[in-house]
Amino acid sequence: NAGVMQNPRHLVRRRGQEARLRCSPMKGHSHVYWYRQLPEEGLKFMVYLQKENIIDESGMPKERFSAEFPKEGPSILRIQQVVRGDSAAYFCASSPGVADTQYFGPGTRLTVL
């Protein structure tokens, strides 16, 4: 059973471009979470999704950020018009149920030039 997969592992964008981060949960897991780790800061919750539904997006910035988890395919975290402050490691986690262990992917390290 493969673990949580994220791609790309590293992503470089120029200011104003779009960034798309992908996450494939572990097999059998229908709950997906996105977290962001800014330099010198702890991990912060961004959004929690189940298949085709956003359950909690209280940690998402109000503008430029969106997330989806379609019926088929990976979960996508999309950042439009990136700025330097978006440079961070973005981690995806999945779990079989809401109160179960969350398993994390290796992360995508976004650098905005």
Partner 1 sequence: KQEVTQIPAALSVPEGENLVLNCSFTDSAIYNLQWFRQDPGKGLTSLLLIQSSQREQTSGRLNASLDKSSGRSTLYIAASQPGDSATYLCAVGANSKLTFGKGITLSVRP
Residues that bind partner 1 (CB under 8 A): 33, 35, 41-45, 48, 55-56, 58-59, 91, 93, 98-107, 109
Residues in the chain: 113
Q: Which residues pair with 19 in a beta bridge?
A: 79
The torsion angles phi and psi of 4, rounded to 5 degrees, stand at: -70, 130
In angstroms, the CA 6 to CA 74 distance is: 9
Q: Which is nearer to partner 1, 37 or 66 (CB)?
A: 37
Q: Which is nearer to partner 1, 22 or 109 (CB)?
A: 109
Least distance CB 81 / partner 1 (angstroms): 26
Q: Which is nearer to partner 1, 74 or 103 (CB)?
A: 103
Q: Which residues pair with 103 in a beta bridge?
A: 94
